Structure 1
Amino acid sequence: MATVRATISNIAKPGCPTHCGNITVPYPFGIGTKCSLDYSYAGTCNTSYEPPKLFHASGYVEVYNISDSEVRVATSVSYSCYNQRGALDGMISGFDLNLNKEYTFSVKNKFTVIGCDDYALLGGADETYFSGGCFALCRKQQEVPNGECSGIGCCQASIPKGVRYFDLTLHTLRNHSDILSFNECGYGFLVEEGSFRFGGASDLSTNYSDFVTRLESTVPIVLDWVIAPNGSCAVAVNICKGNSSCYDVEGGGYRCKCNSGYEGNPYLDPGCQG
């Protein structure tokens, strides 16, 4: 992954912090609105954690990494669990995420369902409404393979490019009545492809709280970001600094990049240096 290359002198605006814990925060991002291009790129640094954690300014989305075209944030997991009577024994079955217009969900993400009696529906909007689904089914614990999301205990599907909003709803076929001995819960979530490895039967039988906590603290969603999502380089004024160039992004918006042979932050004076 290409990271934002910047010298120490111009990672952030003058007087602004360059890091939150272990995470570099390069302009146009910043800690607080005074240090960022605007609210959409602003973060808060929560120092009650050790090391401190970076969150979007909204306060509820944890940020893992910022690069010159992407942001990685924590995923959120929908789940439904069932007891011996077939009744729900714990549920967060719907999850929706609506991004600022400067961000879209990357096609590097996979829509993922875990369980043996479960399916999830994903709906959202890009330029037109889209919908998709994924089934994760099995009847015997020993038939579930490790490391594979082929539909047996784990299913993955692609999402279209340019999506800013999605809604995930999780469903069951038989309330897990045939498989409760080894699988009480089903899960649905969006995750960066390759960052999650299905643990087979052990994931299916793990306590839901432990499984959700592990996912939400270790695997990311990838977001693509742009400057001025309704704009283009043709109307960009004084955004890209010295020795850098503007380039338009498919779907709208633009970014700046250092010219060949130069490095630094193309959004801050004096620009990129040789």
Structure 2
Amino acid sequence: MAAVFATINNIAKPGCPTHCGINTVSYPFGIGRECSLDNSYSLTCNTSYEPPKLFPISSDDFEVYNISDSEVRVATLVSYRCYNQRGALGGIIKGFDLNLNKEYTFSVKNKFTVIGCDDYTLIGGADESYVSGGCFALCRKEQEVPNGECSGIGCCQASIPKGLRSYDLTLHTLLNHSDVLSFNECGYGFLVEEGSFKFGGAADLSTNYSEFVTRLESTVPIVLDWVIAPNKSCAIGVNICKGNSSCYDVEGGGYHCKCNNGYEGNPYLDPGCQG
């Protein structure tokens, strides 16, 4: 997936880099701990890639695609289970528990997605925002799977609640794929930005799991919402907003700083926004 430029101005702390490959990084984010507001906004630029890629400084699980004034897009992670010709589990399992720093939540722009013909999964939050939901992806014949539609036949999608900060994902099956092994050996579950994934129908169901997972994890994003000081409000944190900018509370906690009308610049750094 081609990264896009950030929509906030590319102004960093003095002496700090503002670019990693084709990505622009603006304060409060920064490349290196000393260049960000704190560790929650610290990124690392991995120059072993061409072009270089951004990652959170604390983890290499998520590639960071781009940053805006309220969102971060990162690479998705895919959970999957595959089955052998006897219908038993074929030994290929990948699941995960995913937890975000308190400055981030999973955006409601994401959809929880399941791919397969004999698969279902539950999604549950593991913290105070605990929720439970699920999705079934079922089909019996390769010919009945629609191309480009996530309607429950081979592919299903479900919404997530606002404020979700963590979730665990484990796939389940009804019949170990025993009735569909001729064209579908694996089931998949992942979170993805709505509209960024197009279901390929029977072709996706029969694709080798490694190829399918690699394609997803390198081309489709998860959207994260970010805030400053998630346990505070503008009444407490207004001093962080610099000249010619205003503080805006975010529903659920935290705030953002934005330049006033007619001004441009970085509202988090002195001298603030300029006319």
SS in 1 for 2:158: strand
> 1:65-84 maps to which residues of 2 (within 5 A)?
65-84=66-85
2:216 and 2:269 map into 1 onto residues whose CA distance is: 36
Where does residue 39 of structure 1 map in the other structure? Answer: 39
User: How many Å apart are 1:2 and its aligned residue?
Assistant: 10
SS in 1 for 2:86: coil
Distance 1:233 1:2, change over 3 A: farther
SS in 2 for 1:72: strand
Where does residue 224 of structure 1 map in the other structure? Answer: 225
2:39 and 2:208 map into 1 onto residues whose CA distance is: 38
Where does residue 7 of structure 2 map in the other structure? Answer: 4
User: How many Å apart are 1:273 and its aligned residue?
Assistant: 1.6
1:75 and 1:90 map into 2 onto residues whose CA distance is: 23
SS in 1 for 2:179: coil
| Residue identity (%) | 84
User: How many Å apart are 1:137 and its aligned residue?
Assistant: 0.2
User: How many Å apart are 1:58 and its aligned residue?
Assistant: 1.1
1:252 and 1:80 map into 2 onto residues whose CA distance is: 37
1:155 and 1:93 map into 2 onto residues whose CA distance is: 19
Where does residue 175 of structure 1 map in the other structure? Answer: 176
Number of residues paired by the alignment?
271
User: How many Å apart are 1:127 and its aligned residue?
Assistant: 4.2
Where does residue 23 of structure 1 map in the other structure? Answer: 23
2:197 and 2:91 map into 1 onto residues whose CA distance is: 23
Deviations 1:141-188 (A, max 9, x none): 010001110100000000000011100110111111111111010000
SS in 2 for 1:162: coil
User: How many Å apart are 1:271 and its aligned residue?
Assistant: 1.1
8 A contact 2:12–2:27 mirrored in 1: yes
The CA RMSD measured in Å over matched residues stands at: 1.4
SS in 1 for 2:214: helix
Distance 1:264 1:239, change over 3 A: same
Corresponding letter in the other structure for 2:56:
H
Distance 1:15 1:2, change over 3 A: closer
Corresponding letter in the other structure for 1:245:
S
What's the TM-score once normalised by structure 2's chain length? 0.95
What's the TM-score once normalised by structure 1's chain length? 0.96
Greater displacement, 86-95 / 235-244? 86-95
8 A contact 1:116–1:183 mirrored in 2: yes
Greater displacement, 177-186 / 234-243? 234-243
8 A contact 1:5–1:263 mirrored in 2: no
Q: Which structure 1 segments of 5+ residues have no match?
A: none
Q: Which structure 2 segments of 5+ residues have no match?
A: none
SS in 1 for 2:239: coil
Where does residue 137 of structure 1 map in the other structure? Answer: 138
SS in 2 for 1:55: strand
Where does residue 206 of structure 2 map in the other structure? Answer: 205
Where does residue 273 of structure 1 map in the other structure? Answer: 274
1:191 and 1:38 map into 2 onto residues whose CA distance is: 27
User: How many Å apart are 1:238 and its aligned residue?
Assistant: 2.5
Corresponding letter in the other structure for 2:190:
F
